[in-house]
Amino acid sequence: MGESNTIRIDFICPKNAGRSQMAETFAERERSRRGLDDVVEIASSGTRPADSVHDEVIEAMDEVGIDVSGRTPTFVVPEDLEESHFVITMGCTVAEFSPSHYGVESRVWPLMNPEGEEMELVRSVRDETEQRVVALFDEIEEIADERAEREDTERSLSERVTDAVRSAFRSDST
Sorted by where each begins, the domain ranges of the chain are 7-172
Confidence of residue 80 (pLDDT cuts 50, 70, 90): confident
Global confidence as pTM: 0.82
Fold of 7-172: Rossmann fold (3.40.50)
Q: Which of 126, 171, 144, 139 is nearest to 19 (CA)?
A: 126
98/53 Cα distance (integer angstroms): 27
User: In this predicted model, what pLDDT tens digit does every residue of 10-20 receive, in sequence order?
Assistant: 999 999 999 99
1/115 Cα distance (integer angstroms): 32
User: In this predicted model, what pLDDT tens digit does every residue of 89-124 receive, in sequence order?
Assistant: 897 765 666 666 666 778 889 999 999 999 999 999
Number of H helices, E strands in the chain: 6, 4
3-state secondary structure of 141: helix
Mean pLDDT calculated for residue range 79-88: 85
69/173 Cα distance (integer angstroms): 38
